[in-house]
Amino acid sequence: MTVTDTVSPSTETAHPALELRGVSSAYGETQVLRDVSIAVPPGSVTALIGPNGAGKTTSLRVASGLVKPTSGEVLLHGQPVTGWSPHRLAGRGLCHVPEGRGVYRNLTVEENLTMMSPPGSVAEGIEKATATFPILGDRLKQKAGTLSGGEQQMLSLSAAYLRKPTIVLVDEPSLGLAPIIVDLVFDFLKTLKAEGIALLLVDQYALRTLSIADTAYVLRRGQIAYTGSAQELLQGDMFEQYIGEGVS
Ligand SMILES: Nc1ncnc2c1ncn2[C@@H]1O[C@H](COP(=O)(O)OP(=O)(O)OP(=O)(O)O)[C@@H](O)[C@H]1O
């Protein structure tokens, strides 16, 4: 089969927006993922939960082309894209919002938003981002590195809107943020879902993440321990078994 950069609308809906199929991955000699399979249905939220070091970030990095799997496949809307560069995947509608604020610190807010906007729709992009996060409108001429953590996260998340993706990978968007900003971040994620964008979400707040998710995966030591409904995982026994007590 010839792999092209275009897919028909029927292909877009018939397959998962994103799929990791039997993916294994390593950093040098250290095996991190073992036979991981994750499917993100179009227009829905998929939660990836698990303890520190389980391999959640690595799974997202494999999906966005930053880490090459040692075996297994990555598919975007049913198309094999294993080994594609992050840039090429971005051009096909995949947006990765990495942990730790994916912004250019030495560029202004306006310049960051300009880079996130497709050519020809910069003004529209800036308007959309500032309508969603009004504080960014007051900071347009400020270097991104001088923003507060919450403001940087808002700027970083704006990419998920402006690049017009079909699938967004979001890694720990609430890390280090004040509760009121965490509320804003989750509201924004719900807006993305309402607009029909598929999300693969990793966040420290397991309960909150599951509450906006349709499907959930639990990763433990690089292997999938649970695949199923997010709502089922919220039930007492299941939650204790897979996630643990005292988790927020
Ligand atoms: N660049 C790297 N080089 C070597 N080992 C790495 C690298 N990045 C991550 N690891 C290791 O791979 C394992 C999985 O890390 P990963 O960041 O994917 O897990 P995680 O579930 O996202 O954890 P956390 O919640 O702590 O970010 C960990 O043992 C980590 O130390």
Centre of ligand 1 to C-alpha 55, Å, is 6
C-alpha 202 to ligand 1 mean position (Å)? 13
- Phi, psi (degrees; rounded to nearest 5) at 236: -40, -60
How far is 132 from 154, CA to CA, in rounded Å?
Answer: 9
The closest alpha carbon to 97, from 247, 203, 227, 176, belongs to 203
Position 69 confidence tier, pLDDT thresholds 50, 70, 90: very high
**Does 4 have pLDDT greater than 50?**
no
Here the ipTM equals 0.95
Instruction: Compute the distance from residue 57 Cα to the ligand 1 centre, in Å.
Output: 7
Pairing of strands 223-229, 215-220: antiparallel
Pairing of strands 18-27, 198-202: unpaired
Pocket residue to mutate for ligand 1, from 23, 32, 52, 172, most atoms within 8 A of Cβ: 32
Measured between alpha carbons, how far is 63 from 185 in angstroms, rounded to an integer?
22
Please give the mean pLDDT across all residues of the chain: 90
Global pTM value: 0.90
Q: Is the pLDDT of residue 27 over 50?
A: yes
pLDDT of residue 241: 78
Q: Tens digits of per-residue pLDDT, 202-244?
A: 999 999 999 999 999 999 999 999 999 999 988 877 777 777 7
Stretch 100-113: mean pLDDT: 90
Please tell me the residue having the least CA distance from ligand 1 atom 3. 27
pLDDT tier at 94 (50, 70, 90 boundaries)?
A: very high
Query: 2 falls in which pLDDT band (50, 70, 90)?
Result: very low
The protein residue with its alpha carbon nearest to ligand 1, atom 24, reads 52
Q: For the domain 16-93+165-241, what is the CATH superfamily, name and number?
A: P-loop containing nucleotide triphosphate hydrolases (3.40.50.300)
What pLDDT is stored for residue 8 in this prediction?
A: 45
